[in-house]
Amino acid sequence: MDVRIETSWKERLNAEFQKPYFHALIEFIKEEKKQHTLYPPGPLIFNAFEKCPFDATKVVIIGQDPYHGPGQANGLCFSVNEGVKFPPSLMNIFKEIYSDLGQKAPSSGNLERWAQQGVLMLNATLTVRANTAGSHQNKGWETFTDAVIQSLVNEKKHLVFILWGSYAQKKGSIVSSEQHCVLKSAHPSPLSAYNGFFGNKHFSKTNEYLRQHGKEEINW
In sequence order, which ranges of 64-218 are alpha helices (DSSP H)? Answer: 88-101, 112-115, 141-155, 165-171, 202-212
Residues near 101 by beta carbon (within 8 Å), at least 6 away in sequence: 203, 204, 220
Separation CA 160–CA 143 (nearest Å): 21
1 secondary structure, DSSP code: -
Which burial class, exposed, middle or buried, applies to 205 when counting CB atoms under 10 A from its CB (0-12, 13-18, 19+)? middle
Q: Which CB contacts under 8 angstroms, 24+ apart, belong to 87-95?
A: 88/189, 88/190, 89/187, 89/188, 89/189, 89/190, 90/188, 92/188, 92/189, 92/190, 92/193, 92/197, 92/198, 93/188, 95/198
Q: What's the alpha-carbon Rg for the chain, to the nearest Å? A: 17
Active site residue: 2, 55, 65, 146, which one? 65
Active site residue 146: no
Q: Which residues are catalytic?
A: 65
